[in-house]
Amino acid sequence: MIYVRCLCLSLSLFVLLGSARPDCVLSKHDLSQTNRVFATRDGLSYHLFRKDVVPNSAQVHSICNYNDIVISTCTANGFHPVLKTAGCKKPTTPIVEEVNDASCPYKMYRVGYRFENVAFLEIYRSCYNPDKVQAHFTIYMAQTSTSAVERPMHFNTDRIISGAAAASFQNTQIYSRYNALLGRQTYFAAGTNMFDRGHLTPSLDFAFKASRGQTNKYINLIPQFKTINRGNWKTIENWVRRQLSERHFDALKVCTGVLGVLELYSSTYRADIPMFLINNNKNPIPKWIYKIVSHISGRKFVFLTYNNAHATTRPTGQAVSNVCRELSCRSLGLKLRNEGTAGYTFCCEPHDFIARNLTRLTGIC
């Protein structure tokens, strides 16, 4: 009787596994070479497709323009009809446009594709202050992607800031600025690359090369210490992707931004000096970088990183408690380095963090 039950169970598993329908995976060539834009449709609304895998039975709209939209369905035998990735004679190029958004007290720009009589397919949006050359926060939707396509390396001002303002992100200019602000200093050695143009919306959260390239905009950049960008901040970004790849969540809204201005002690002037990379308090090096990750179910997570690679001790007391009600990061499976060069990082109670620092983002992030 035991053998019969085992046989029945084995047959059931065989039938179940045998009937599993495979998803459709877009090739690296499609992701990097296509001149079309892909979207899903929910009723009358189109949404930018961000992944490299299409679930079985799901539809994808391959869009060139209003008169050239091809709908393909993922089947057990691949896309039907065959997914159209080429043949768009007049491809739509991404644009940046200013929009009204009460969450942003400065200028809100959205980046994406405008298709006449179809939709605006948004890649991300950025709350930006052009007068101060400062990105305050960005918002985008993250979905799982294992795409290996390269990110284009060109950075674009979109005529929102000047070329001179963009040049203030260069390490040679930052070194000169350190000396101008601090006098004789030992923080920053000549000829070293201490800073990255840190992305608030990261390129790796998009599958298509065209979308990845659109993250290389100055409205999406902050002066971020290189070792922090590639240290604990990278760990946080990878944690978000892992939540999606391991299917803990189907999609996540991600709001990433900055708080405060970093101050460094000047032994010449015997004072803490706010670090602005341009005269007249422009292009500040942020003191804190935060990431709010939320799911439609109501789950939220907040990460806060101290953007100071010169720090030798972890911030404590009111320096932290005024901004963040600290929670354990270990419970989230995060392995963070407790050192300034990697970026001292805290996990915060989400609702308290938003209410304390970002009331405009209540109900949004």
In a domain, 45, yes or no: yes
8 Å CB contact between 346 and 336: no
Mean pLDDT, residues 112-138 taken together: 95
Would the CA dihedral through 307, 311, 317, 318 be positive or negative?
A: negative
Range from 159-163, 242-246, 293-297, 338-342 carrying the lowest mean pLDDT: 242-246
Query: Does residue 256 sit in the same domain as residue 184?
Result: yes
pLDDT at 18 over 60: no
In a domain, 1, yes or no: no
In a domain, 13, yes or no: no
Query: Does residue 295 sit in the same domain as residue 146?
Result: yes
* Structural domain boundaries, residue 296: 95-361
pLDDT at 3 over 80: no
Instruction: Spell out a b/e string for 247-278, using b for 16 or more CB atoms within 10 Å of the CB, else e.
Output: eebeebbbbbbbbeebebebeeeeeebebbbb
pLDDT digit string, tens, across residues 21-72: 689 998 888 888 899 999 999 888 899 999 889 999 999 999 998 889 999 9
pLDDT at 280 over 90: yes
Sorting pLDDT into bands at 50, 70 and 90, what band is 7? very low
pLDDT at 242 over 80: yes
pLDDT at 116 over 90: no
Q: Is 29 a catalytic residue?
A: no
In a domain, 12, yes or no: no
Sorting pLDDT into bands at 50, 70 and 90, what band is 14? very low
- What are phi and psi for residue 325, nearest 5 degrees? -90, 105
In a domain, 328, yes or no: yes
- Residue where a domain terminates, one of 67, 92, 117: 92
Query: Does residue 49 sit in the same domain as residue 155?
Result: no
Sorting pLDDT into bands at 50, 70 and 90, what band is 109? very high
8 Å CB contact between 195 and 171: yes
Number of domains in the chain: 2
Query: Does residue 177 sit in the same domain as residue 44?
Result: no
Question: Is 229 among the annotated ligand-binding positions?
Answer: yes
Distances (CA, A) of 90 to 65, 83, 106: 8, 18, 34
Query: Does residue 60 sit in the same domain as residue 198?
Result: no
Query: Does residue 219 sit in the same domain as residue 86?
Result: no
In a domain, 5, yes or no: no
- Residue where a domain terminates, one of 92, 118, 140: 92
In a domain, 172, yes or no: yes
Quote the radius of gyration of the chain (alpha carbons, Å): 23
Percent of the chain with pLDDT over 90: 79
Q: What is the pLDDT of residue 9?
A: 33
Sorting pLDDT into bands at 50, 70 and 90, what band is 16? very low
Catalytic residue among 29, 47, 136, 199: 199
Query: Does residue 338 sit in the same domain as residue 231?
Result: yes
H helices, E strands: number in the chain: 9, 22
Q: What is the pLDDT of residue 19?
A: 45
Query: Does residue 185 sit in the same domain as residue 87?
Result: no
Residue 302's nearest CA partner among 332, 335, 271, 347 is 347
In a domain, 6, yes or no: no
pLDDT digit string, tens, across residues 130-166: 999 999 999 999 997 776 777 778 999 999 999 999 9
- Residue where a domain terminates, one of 58, 92, 126: 92
Query: Does residue 102 sit in the same domain as residue 88?
Result: no
Percent of the chain with pLDDT over 70: 94
Query: Does residue 125 sit in the same domain as residue 244?
Result: yes
Average pLDDT taken over every residue of the chain: 92
Query: Does residue 71 sit in the same domain as residue 206?
Result: no
Q: Residue 253's domain is classified under what CATH number?
A: 3.40.570
At 156 the three-state DSSP class reads strand
Query: Does residue 117 sit in the same domain as residue 43?
Result: no
